[in-house]
Amino acid sequence: MIFIHGMNFMTFDLNLLRVLDALLETGSTTLAGKRIGLSQPAVSAALSRLRHALDDPIFVRKGRMLVPTDYAQGLRTPLREILEQTESLLSGPGEFDPARSDARFKISGSDFYAELLLPALADHLSRNAPGMRVQLVDLVPDNYVHSLDQFGVDMAILPRTEFPDWVESRFLHRSHFVSIARRGHPRLQGAGVKPGDAIPLDLFCNLQHVLFSPEGNHRGMADAALETIGRKRNVTMTMPVFSGVYNAVAQSNLIALVPHQLAERVAPRVGLDIFRPPIRIEPAELMLIWHKRSTRAPAHSWLRDQIAMLMEPLDRAPFPSPIDATEQGHDSGGTT
């Protein structure tokens, strides 16, 4: 006989693993029951059997929520992997019908995608996969990639970088960076800088900037580019969300660098002008990433295809076009 953690594996009811997974995901016997189609008493009975079989409390109560023990928490990721692999194995290559799917997905990304992906995705899903549920969740500071492994995230949208070998990725779009300022910004207007112009380098460095940074860093891609020509900008505020950045700019004399698609979308609504930065900043390449264990899961694969389709129109250059290397010295006022 096989014994694991004091348990006779040969007599263990594997259906209890679905109950355990649902409890780990929801922290509630009622919600877990709704997730897997069982009554609350049936889930409670299954939890009692799990505690007996595994010789561990599995959960302890904290108010109205069930909090997993250290042992149960350690089972969370490997158990999810096993269940997803089993689903993929049993699903085989058969046809996936989105209209009948009740799959649920968490997507990690900045609020850029709340503005530029989720509205279109909501419309698309309502017409093609009305039972599918999608949550956009915040990026986990300093741990973006590992949110796929540790925080129950199904896919994430991140700038291209070196990903671990357990991550699959797919290109979505490029984003160029443009400068935004409140409409009629007094110092830009006083310097004769019109919307669409490149901001002179001295003025760009002297103005106060607000920086998008979920981690609260005071340096970004623009700072690295400025450093190569011996210059530095004046970052006086950081925001963990883009909406905070553009609202702060719209209501103050701060300026910011944001992706061009976002600037073009929100500028008319909140009262912004769009300018070119005085230096070349390499565009960000945004990737959809996911854990390899989900690559063949039919619903996961279908949703990835829909996101890529909806993001394709974003992969275009901004207007006005970003500054190139031949303009950089001219627009800097000769200070480079």
Task: Show me where the domains of the chain are located.
Answer: 3-91, 98-162+292-312, 177-283+319-331
Which residues, at least 6 apart from 97, have a Cβ–Cβ distance to it below 8 Å? none
Interval 58-110: pLDDT, tens: 999 988 889 999 999 999 989 988 888 888 777 665 678 999 999 999 999 99
Residue 163 scores a pLDDT above 70:
yes
What would the two tokens of residue 44 be? 């409670």
Residue 332 scores a pLDDT above 50:
no
- 239 with 210: CB under 8 angstroms? yes
Residue 322 scores a pLDDT above 90:
no
Span 306-330, average pLDDT: 69
Residue 331 scores a pLDDT above 70:
no
Would residue 215 be called left, alpha or beta, if left means φ above 0 and alpha means ψ between -120 and 50 degrees? alpha
Query: In the chain, what is the greatest distance between 2 CA atoms, to the nearest angstrom?
Result: 84
Band (pLDDT 50/70/90 cuts) for residue 7 is: low
Report pLDDT for 85: 84
Span 162-183, average pLDDT: 94
What would the two tokens of residue 311 be? 């993001």
The angle, 0 to 180 degrees and rounded to 10, between the axes of the packed helices 260-270 and 242-250 is 40
Report pLDDT for 326: 38
- 177-283+319-331 classified as CATH 3.20.20.150: no
SS3 annotation, the chain: CCEECCEEHHHCCCHHHHHHHHHHHHCCHHHHHHHHCCCHHHHHHHHHHHHHHHCCCCEEEECCEEEECHHHHHHHHHHHHHHHHHHHHHHCCCCCCHHHCCCEEEEECCCHHHHHCHHHHHHHHHHHCCCCEEEEECCCCCCCCCHHHHCCCCEEEEECCCCCCCEEEEEEEEECEEEEEECCCHHHHHCCCCCCCECCHHHHHHCEEEEECCCCCCCCHHHHHHHCCCCCCEEEEEECCHHHHHHHHHCCCCEEEEEHHHHHHHHHHHCEEEEECCCCCCCEEEEEEEEHHHCCCHHHHHHHHHHHHHHHHHCCCCCCCCCCHHHHHHHCCCCC
Is the fold of 98-162+292-312 the same as that of 177-283+319-331?
yes
Distances in whole angstroms, Cα of residue 314 to Cα of each of 107, 318, 324: 18, 10, 21
Span 112-128, average pLDDT: 97
Out of 9-23, 190-204, 271-285, pick the least confident.
9-23
Q: What percent of the chain has pLDDT over 70?
A: 87
Assign a CATH topology to domain 3-91. Answer: Arc Repressor Mutant, subunit A (1.10.10)
Query: Do the bridges between strand 65-68 and strand 104-108 make them parallel or antiparallel, or are there none, so unpaired?
Result: unpaired
d(C-alpha 245, C-alpha 216), whole Å: 13
* φ, ψ for residue 124, nearest 5 deg: -65, -45
Interval 182-192: pLDDT, tens: 999 999 999 99
Report pLDDT for 217: 87
Angle at 87 between CA 70 and CA 294, to 5 degrees: 75
- 172 with 308: CB under 8 angstroms? yes
What would the two tokens of residue 69 be? 């023990």
Interval 258-280: pLDDT, tens: 999 999 999 999 999 999 999 99
Report pLDDT for 11: 72
- 98-162+292-312 classified as CATH 3.40.190.10: yes
Q: What percent of the chain has pLDDT over 90?
A: 69
